[in-house]
Amino acid sequence: MRHILYEIKKHVSFRETWVAYALGIGYLISSMWNYRDLTGNVQQAWYRWHQHIWLYGANLAMFLVIIGMSRIMSYERERRTDSVLLTTARGRNKLFFSKIGFAAIYAAVIVVVFGVTTFVHQFGILGFEGVFDSLKGSIYFRVDGEASITNIGFGVLRHCLFYLSVLYLTYLVMLISQLTKRPVVTICICGAAYVFPVAYYVLGFDFLSDRLEAVAEFISRCSFGGFMMLESYSWGRTWDFCYDDWIGNLWKPILFVVTAILVELTLLWALWRRKERK
Amino acid sequence: MKLVIEKVSKLYGSFSALSNIEVSLDNGVYGLLGPNGAGKTTLMRIMTDLLKPSGGRVLLDGVDISVLGAEFRRRLGYLPQDFGFYPNYTAEQFLMYIARLKGLGKAEAKRQTAELLEMVGLAEKRGQQMKALSGGQRQRVGIAQALLGDPDILVLDEPTAGLDPEERIRFRGIISNLSRQKTVLLSTHIVSDLEAVAHEIILLKKGVIIDVEKPHELLRKIEGKVFSLTVPVEKEFEFASKYRCSNIMSEGASVVLRIVSDEKPHETAIPMAPNMEDLYVYYFK
Amino acid sequence: MTSEIKRYAAKALYWMILATALVARGFLAYFDFKEFKYEPDVYLDLAADYWNKAGSLSLAILILIVLIHQFSIDKETGADTVIHTARYGRRRLYLERLGAGVVMTVFSVAILGLGNYVISYFMSPVGVHMRNVLAPYIESTLITLVGGVGFFLAASFVCDVVANHPAAICICGFPYVFSYLVYSMEVNKNLKPFDLVWFLKYGTFTELVRGRWITTVPVFWCIWYPMLIIGLFALSIYKRKERKQL
């Protein structure tokens, strides 16, 4: 834990991190400002909270993760402390795992702060009504055939999935950062990798031929962007999108993301060791 | 040409890095000697107009250097302690770039770059990227860039750090040749370098100048205070912790201690002629 | 200034981004051609509308990733002390870098604009030529030029002040991109002048770089943009004086 604190100390010394925080807070406030005209409809408020991740949370988390994590892997090299740290008895392993641990905590903080802030904003004045009401009462969801789930349960589930997706991105940023060793290049690559699925889901790529559209859909659904928007969790019994009974099939995308994270970590570890061998 | 440091002080919050520094520099090599944290780099940064002093000023021929601006910098060559560079530039490209910033014409910049690369022994490495050069080679590029434009004032912060003995001797030769018509301020921990080239030495301790003298004058001040004492190995710690030692040499079952002390440490101690290392120990240890 | 322009021209990243932008435009033109083979007017309108999306994004990426980097690179590499003790390493170098950056921004607009013209010409359906929409295209290119130069100046001043490239990208890039996003937001439907979102929509150079004049309260923007640039310039000068870099 102490080593993770050292990583936090490094993280807060990056000037761009503070700029990202300031802009992130501005964005969060503007997103809540956009929803300021609450009508008093409780179920609508629940819907808004559930959808907030798709509309704002994904963008916000992407921004904070890419900016905040792009330097963490190359910082030792940048400050020329790598040769010292990596030649200490357990420096290599400890440094790696403290970075991994810090990344997990950082992703969790983003998700929790976002979730709690938007939750309080939506329900602070509504008195947290309908917390344990069934989601089936919602006119916004087609949940026929779903296991019974409450409003709060659904929200927590969505935020857990969101956390998993943010981790997927976080370790990818670390992986690319380890490869490029340049924060700006990492920001560009990861930013572009996020824009593609967002453009696919928001704008649609109707102009593409069927085959190319299938490729675009595949990329979008497998990428962290698709998962961060929670679109890619809607797997049916087959590959096709399916909003009915998607909770029953949730283990499939979760397995996919967990596998992706493990692959990322394995590659990161291999790169880290390669650096040490050099 | 006269460079005068007039009552310069520098505060970082409540910490005084320099206090009331007053010194006047003419042509010649001035060595700046002091332990870590004495304020050497701060003084050099103020003298190169990179740092604003909290009080006082630096005058070149009676005019404040911050007023002179580019005119002062035209006459200045500076090698910082942590010399930075563009990693993807070749040594030649880097020197050409600095030469242009120093206001040299293209032909002159090319001529001087080639000449200086030759002088610092890097002519064969001119086409190699800076990132591919060794630490010592980069330091030599740093020395070369400071000499570009034939500056009247040279401020060199730890110039011999990372150089091998052969290169250090070469560097001393370069500085000795330059010293007749230039003001050179040299900061280093390798006191033998100062002994070889400095005309005057400025002793700086905790932000205060404690003495400015010619090396032999400083050495004369500690004459009769340096002793050589041979003791059994088991007595080494006792003497080493009681007296300031500038050298300890093992000789089988005994050790020879070089002690700097106002009084004779032992009746068997032999007085020795002082050197610069003794001087450093006497003032700073 | 020539040496600074040469430094920009020697950056592989600059040419990579430029080439990628043109290749991407090639793909888009190909799909436009397929989609609107029999509606040449639509094809031409899309070609002339290049700066609205792909062009303005490409230019902003070039400016933020490559062109403003010159204002923080000395500090990043530790070469700043050597540079700032050189005779022309302060004011003159600063102005030369600004000048070179403006030249490169103009060059980038020209290359992207010309590239779009050529690509659209070669990909166009038979009998259709860009000259049919040349006047509006040239007009939007000129607006982009003005906006691009303004955006470069503002971003380079910011980069100079914060002396940190990623931070400058965030500060300038975030509001820039936000302006695009406003169009897909609910709040855009009843936007009133001097609302915060209205301000973010029009006040971050994006509209100009997209090749569009700002028609809502134009007098205000005529004052706002010069004041913004002058204000940031003054801040940059102040910080440089404080750091003894001028």
Q: Model confidence over A27-82: pLDDT tens digits?
A: 888 878 777 665 566 777 777 787 788 778 888 999 999 998 888 888 877 776 77
Best residue in A23, A65, A75, A210 for a mutation probing chain C (most C CBs within 10 Å):
A23
Task: Kindly state the tokens that stand for A27.
Answer: 């964005």
Shortest Cα–Cα distance, C114 to chain B (Å): 31
Contact C88 B149 (CB under 8 A): no
> What CATH class is the domain B3-219?
alpha beta
Interface of B with C in 53-92 (CB under 8 A): 66, 69-70, 73-74, 76-80, 82-87
ipTM of the modeled complex? 0.76
* Domain limits, chain B: 3-219, 222-284
Contact C92 B70 (CB under 8 A): yes
Residues paired with residue B208 on neighbouring β-strands, in sequence order: B205
Residue A277 has a pLDDT of: 47
pLDDT surpasses 50 at A145: no
pLDDT surpasses 80 at A237: no
Q: Give chain C's residues under pLDDT 70.
A: 127
Contact A184 C69 (CB under 8 A): yes
Contact A16 C166 (CB under 8 A): yes
pLDDT surpasses 90 at A167: yes
Please give the C-alpha separations between residue B132 and each of A159, B125, B135, B144, in angstroms, as whole numbers.
Answer: 48, 10, 9, 17
Contacting chains of B (3 CB pairs or more, <8 Å) are: C
* Domain limits, chain C: 2-242
Contact B218, B236 (CB under 8 A): no
Q: What backbone torsions phi and psi does residue B185 show, to the nearest 5 degrees?
A: -110, 125
Residue B52 at interface with chain C, using a CB cutoff of 8 Å: yes
| Mean per-residue pLDDT over chain A, rounded | 80
CB-nearest partner of C170 from A16, A188, A202: A16
The SS3 of residue C126 is coil
Contact B84 C77 (CB under 8 A): yes
Residue A139 has a pLDDT of: 55
Contact B113, B148 (CB under 8 A): yes
Contact C239, C232 (CB under 8 A): no
CB-nearest partner of C3 from B66, B74, B97: B97
B103's torsion region: left (phi>0), alpha (psi -120 to 50) or beta? left
Q: Which residues contact C143 (CB under 8 A, 6 or more apart)?
A: C51, C208, C211, C212, C213
| Mean per-residue pLDDT over chain B, rounded | 88
Distance, first Cα to last Cα, chain C? 17
pLDDT surpasses 60 at A17: yes
Strands B153-157, B76-79: pairing is: parallel
Task: Report the run of H or E that residue C26 belongs to, with start and end.
Answer: helix C12-35
Q: Give the tens place of pLDDT for each residue, B117-149.
A: 998 888 898 999 888 888 888 888 998 999 998
Instruction: Mean pLDDT check: name the lowest of A189-198, B72-81, C182-191.
Output: C182-191
pLDDT surpasses 70 at A191: yes
Instruction: Mean pLDDT check: name the lowest of A180-189, B32-41, C124-133.
Output: C124-133
Distance, first Cα to last Cα, chain B? 35
Task: Taking each helix axis as running N to C, give the angle between helix A210-222 and helix A183-202, from 0 to 180 degrees, rounded to the nearest 10.
Answer: 120
Chain C residue numbers touching B82 (CB-CB < 8 A): 78
Best residue in B65, B101, B108 for a mutation probing chain C (most C CBs within 10 Å):
B101
- Give the residue ranges of DSSP H helices in chain B: 40-47, 65-68, 70-74, 91-101, 106-119, 135-147, 165-178, 191-197, 215-221, 236-242, 276-284
More confident residue, B102 or A201: B102
Chain C residue numbers touching A33 (CB-CB < 8 A): 196
Please give the C-alpha separations between residue B187 and each of A156, B30, B145, B148, in angstroms, as whole numbers.
Answer: 63, 8, 17, 20
| Amino acid identity at B93 | Q
Best residue in A52, A188, A201 for a mutation probing chain C (most C CBs within 10 Å):
A188
Query: Would you place residue A278 in the very low, low, confident or very high pLDDT band (cuts 50, 70, 90)?
Result: very low
